[in-house]
Amino acid sequence: MKQGDVEMTNGSKLDLEVLKEECHPIDKEICSASPLPMLVINEEMKIHYANREACTTLAAPMEELIGKLFSTYFTSVPAPIVSHYKEVMETGKSLEDETLMNTTGDKIIHVELILKKSTISPNAYLYFKDVTQLKEKERKDHMNVHLLSNIFQNASEGIVLFDIDGNISDVNQAFCIQVGMDKSDVTKRNISWFVPENAHYKIDKIKELIVEHKKARGEIPIRKTHSVSIVEFTTSPYVHHKLHMAILRDVTEKRQMEIQLKRNEELFKGLFEEAIDAIVLWDQDGRVLKANTSALKIFECSLSELLSKRIKDFVYPLEVQKFDLLMEQLTISGAVRDEVLFLMPNNQLKHLEFTSKLHSVDGYNMTIFRNVSERYQMEKELRESEERFRKIFEGSLDGMLLTNHNYVVVDSNPEVSEILASPKENLIGKDVREILNIDPEEDKYAGYLRQLKEEGQATYQKSLYQKGRLQHVELSSKYNLLSNLNLTIIRDITEQVEMQEQLRKSDTLSVVGELAAGIAHEIRNPMTALKGFIQLLENSIGHEHEMYFNVITSEFQRIESIITDFLVLAKPQAIQYQETNLIKIMKDTVELLNAQAVMHNVQYREHYQEGLPCIIAEPNQLKQVFINIIKNAIEVMTQGGFISIAINETDNGMIHIEIQDEGSGISKDKIKKLGEPFYTTKERGTGLGLMVSFNIIKEHKGTVEVESQVGRGTTFHIYLPKI
């Protein structure tokens, strides 16, 4: 670079800095902060300042933009519109518009722009956004919709939409022409009406193939107004909302031509014309030399029109580059097969699959075309169907597993991972029996599998430990719901099972209550007589038999105690709730049972929180609960030890009473049965004491939790609400 060039460059930068300084600081700040490309236009309609996004979009540096007339970048827009933009900026109005802009290198982009007048200077703001790609996508979407409509309405073949019973839902104009009737008359009839009776067996065969989700192809006679024609048909099952589609091509004339061709022994011509696929012969320049009927139908033109064109003339402009590359490959390899989008003279867009070979017939090149637009539509519908299934599968509130016939998991939804506490990647590829710890030899599971195969569906329940608790799950399976896949729905029925267990216990308590009332009544009557006669005998017999009467009296008292427990079950006692000091009740209970504790070499460790608030309760009932639990604790500690008692306030507004012994402990399977009628771990116990205690705590809106370890002891946790 010459020295003079350097000085000129430095001078230009200096001018640029001057221009920047002249731009109002707030305008400059607004422009720089804008997330959209933005230009500041001065009163002379020149670009005064530009942000980085504007420089990027217009592909020009700041030095090139500043000082240029803003209209420089709107040369692709009619002059009146540009003049209107100037008028808007001069009058201070606002404007939103879509238009074209020129960037560096004469590239044209489609933009959305906003013109606003600055509120703090004579300048104007020009915001713009490049929406070229969006507009191109809208154009393509429009063309696709147009394509689908044209395929149905303008297809030269007759198209019929019908249900499985043959009732016609819709037809195109070509079919109406084929049968010589109006569309309104056609749609009132069944397909069988258009087929002569001697060919109805073909309709039955087509229905069988559709039920099996298969396409049907062949020929069938069709009644017209005054004659019968032969058509080639292709049926497709389930193209839209349980409707099926048939494409019918009138081949009456072609069949007559075939007879003539056979008579003239023109085998090649016959094969050429009989082909359902389009066949085109062309020279080295790509010009069409010969084409069959199918080619004329696909390219929507007459033979004379087709012979005047090259194949490339039909290629959609955006696909020309791809087509040129395929032709280069054809030149190198001598054969090529692919798909390209073609634009027909009637503006239909068709996806054509073609196979081309060089020097195939008499030294000319041959290309065979097949219209696969229908396949593209079916693939699109299939993708949409798969997407709908995936959304339902993933969003289901029930756990869903897809398994193969070996019961190996192929897919699972998020709910399964939630229920089984296992991520999806740990489930895929594993056997269901491994996931749920099911013994393959288990009779119940073997019966479930047998029923699944024989009846197509079956249900199985399994209990397993998850998240530190016993969990019950139910498996409901359907065999071969999808292609070689079984669907299994997994539900967490833990709450349901627990509720059923609670109902069972409730029913048991009801029966026990009725039984207790009867037993207590029947026992007390003879007991009264026995006690009276014993007292009489005691007064008439000497002191040498006093010990026997003491034993008899003690046993009577025990029977009275059991009867009292029965009556508590049979008839709830009147409860008078009042403010109760739990610590006082507990101390009274400990004092009451202290003598029994000393006899069993048991000592107490007590810890009570100071300032513990009172609760609303029935003191005598709570004392009965504490007596039952502490008495049990003393009796199970045959070798002596300590009973730890603590009362504290919890963070969630409850009073926590903890009673811990050092006995032999209780196994987990027995803990859940505590509180059931007549269930006890003691040799002479009835099980009624704990059941009564649990009911008392429940009536006080509290809960009881039991934790135990065999050989280490048992702890009762009682939670009661504060006032």
Q: What is the pLDDT of residues 48-68, one digit of tens each?
A: 899 999 898 888 888 888 888
Rounded CA gap, 217 and 246, in Å?
A: 9
Q: What is the pLDDT of residues 360-381, one digit of tens each?
A: 777 788 888 888 877 777 777 7
Question: Of 272 and 175, which is predicted with more confidence?
Answer: 175
User: Out of 446-455, 477-486, 560-569, which region has the weakest mean confidence (pLDDT)?
Assistant: 560-569
Mean pLDDT within 556-581: 65
CA 354 to chain centroid, in Å, comes to: 40
Average pLDDT of span 310-339:
88
- The pLDDT score that the predictor gives to residue 255 is 76
Structure tokens belonging to residue 330: 């054809």
345 DSSP assignment = T
Name the band, by pLDDT with cuts 50, 70 and 90, for residue 2.
Answer: very low
CB contact at 8 A, 118 and 24 = yes
Distance (Å, whole) CA 440 – CA 450: 13
pLDDT of residue 593: 84
CA distance linking residue 32 with residue 38, whole number of Å: 8
Residue with tokens 């050092």: 662
User: What is the identity of the amino acid at 566?
Assistant: F
pLDDT at 521: 56
Which token pair is 578?
A: 């009042």
Q: What is the pLDDT of residue 514?
A: 58
Note the pLDDT of residue 646.
Answer: 93
Chain centre distance of CA 336: 43
pLDDT band (50, 70, 90) for residue 10: very low
Least confident stretch, 124-133, 165-174, 538-547: 538-547
- 10 Å CB burial of residue 455 (0-12, 13-18, 19+) is exposed
Question: What kind and span of H or E run contains 520?
Answer: helix 494-540
Please answer whether residues 91 and 116 qualify as being in contact, where contact means their C-beta atoms are separated by less than 8 angstroms. Answer: no
Domains 275-377 and 574-721 are alike in CATH topology: no
Query: Could you tell me which of 371, 344, 339, 341 has the C-alpha nearest to residue 355?
Result: 339
pLDDT exceeds cutoff 70 at 333 = yes
User: Which pLDDT score is estimated for 685?
Assistant: 47
Strand (E) positions, 444-525?
Answer: 457-466, 469-482, 485-492
How many whole angstroms separate alpha carbon 520 and alpha carbon 615? 33
Tens-digit pLDDT profile for residues 131-187: 888 888 888 877 766 776 677 778 788 888 888 888 988 888 888 888 888 888 888
Range name among 374-378, 679-683, 697-701 with the lowest pLDDT average: 679-683
CA distance 117 to 126: 9
Q: Which CATH class is domain 498-566?
A: mainly alpha
Band of the pLDDT at 8, cuts 50, 70, 90?
Answer: very low
Task: Write out the H or E segment, with its range, that includes residue 684.
Answer: none
Higher pLDDT, 14 or 267: 267
pLDDT at residue 615, as a whole number:
87
* pLDDT of 499: 66
475 forms beta bridges with: 460, 490
Distance CA 622, CA 69 (A): 94
| Residue 125 main-chain phi, psi, to 5 deg | -105, 135
More confident residue, 47 or 505: 47
How do residues 214-233 score in pLDDT, each as one tens digit?
A: 888 888 888 887 788 888 88
* Lowest-confidence region among 42-46, 393-397, 601-605: 393-397
Lowest pLDDT segment from 200-209, 337-346, 528-537, 659-668: 528-537
> What was the pLDDT predicted at 606?
92
pLDDT of residue 13: 47
pLDDT of residue 684: 47
Residue type (1 letter), 499: M
Cα distance from N-terminal residue to C-terminal residue, the chain: 94
Percentage above 70 pLDDT, the chain: 79
Q: Is the pLDDT of residue 715 over 80?
A: yes
pLDDT (0 to 100) of residue 19: 45
| Per-residue model confidence (pLDDT) at position 82 | 85
Average of per-residue pLDDT across 333-350: 87
Cβ(463)–Cβ(442) under 8 Å? Answer: no
More confident residue, 33 or 538: 33
pLDDT value at position 645? Answer: 93
Count CB neighbours of 419 within 10 A: 17
Q: Beginning with the edge strand found earlier in the chain, give each strand of the sheet holding 335-343 in spatial order.
A: 288-291, 278-282, 364-371, 349-361, 335-343
- Mean pLDDT for the stretch of residues 452-459: 82
- The pLDDT tens digits for 276-293 are 888 888 888 888 888 888
Q: How many CB atoms lie within 10 A of CB 255?
A: 14
The 703-709 sheet, strands edge to edge: 602-608, 641-649, 654-660, 713-721, 703-709
Phi (first) and psi of residue 69, to 5 degrees: -65, 135
The yes-or-no verdict on residue 21 having pLDDT over 70 is: no
The least confident of 32-46, 136-150, 391-405, 530-544 is 530-544
| Higher-pLDDT residue of 259, 694 | 694
**If pLDDT is split at 50, 70 and 90, which confidence band does 657 have?**
very high
- Give the count of alpha carbons within 13 A of 428, CB side only: 8
CA distances from 531 to 152, 516, 536, 538 (A): 104, 21, 9, 10
pLDDT in the model for residue 660: 92
pLDDT for 4 equals 35
Q: What is the SS3 string spanning 352-392?
A: EEEEEEEEEECCEEEEEEEECHHHHHHHHHHHHHHHHHHHH
Fold (CATH) for 25-132: Beta-Lactamase (3.30.450)
pLDDT at residue 41 above 50? yes
DSSP-based three-state secondary structure for 197 = helix
Task: Classify 275-377 by CATH class.
Answer: alpha beta
Q: Give the other-Cβ count within 10 Å of 117's Cβ.
A: 17
Share of the chain above pLDDT 90, in %: 5
Split at pLDDT 50, 70, 90, the class of 500 is low
Residue 484 · residue 405 · CB < 8 Å: yes
CA distance 230 to 252: 5
626-to-645, 690, 694 alpha-carbon distances in Å: 10, 10, 11
Tell me which of 175-179, 222-226, 299-303, 547-551 is least confident.
547-551
Angle at 625 between CA 623 and CA 626, to 5 degrees: 65
Please state which of the ranges 172-186, 526-540, 696-710 shows the lowest mean pLDDT. 526-540
List the domain boundaries for the chain.
Answer: 25-132, 150-257, 275-377, 498-566, 574-721
Ranges 61-70, 483-492, 520-529, 635-644: which has the least confidence: 520-529
Distance of CA 517 to the CA centre of its chain: 56
Model confidence, pTM? 0.32
Which DSSP state fits 190? B
Q: Residue 15 pLDDT more than 50?
A: no
Looking at every residue in the chain, the average pLDDT score rounds to 79
Position 673 scores a pLDDT of 61
Using an 8 Å Cβ cutoff, are 488 and 400 in contact? Answer: yes
CATH of domain 150-257: 3.30.450.20
CA angle at 219 for the pair 290 and 338, rounded to the nearest 5°: 45
* β-bridge mates for residue 580, sequence order: 615
Check residue 373 and give its pLDDT.
Answer: 79
**What is the mean pLDDT of the segment spanning 26-34?**
87
Model confidence band, residue 522 (pLDDT cutoffs 50, 70, 90)? low
Count helices and strands in the chain by DSSP H and E runs? 27, 27
3-state helix, strand, coil in the chain (%, to 5): 45, 30, 25
Backbone φ and ψ of 51, nearest 5°? -85, 175
CATH class of 574-721: alpha beta
The pLDDT of residue 172? 87
